[in-house]
Amino acid sequence: MSSTPAVASAARFGSLLTSIWPRIGAALSKMAAGKRRGLRLCESLSLGEKRVVAIIECDRQRFLIAATPQNISLLQSLGPAKPDDAEEK
């Protein structure tokens, strides 16, 4: 069974996302370690099969997101970040 161009393209995108996800996390961690930025990765958890759940902070608001090779979804707004949480990292 041969794959269609759309399936092949999605597979390439998925492998690209998988290969750059660690770099994105590292870059966000470095930004958090430096001066205070508007966007940072607070925590992430791999669910296997190229699926990740993460808490991100954007302009002092926290969000729970899910990411797959095909999609990034907002699962829940977690409200304002606690001031001492931002100071820890």
> How far is the C-alpha of 79 from the C-alpha of 89, rounded, in Å?
19
Domain that residue 84 falls in: 5-88
pLDDT in tens, 1-28: 555 666 666 667 667 667 777 777 777 7
Structural domains of the chain, count: 1
pLDDT in tens, 43-63: 999 998 889 999 999 888 999
> How far is the C-alpha of 51 from the C-alpha of 68, rounded, in Å?
5
- Residue 23 CB neighbours (<10 A): 9
Answer whether 0.75 is exceeded by the pTM.
no
For 45, the 3-state DSSP assignment is strand
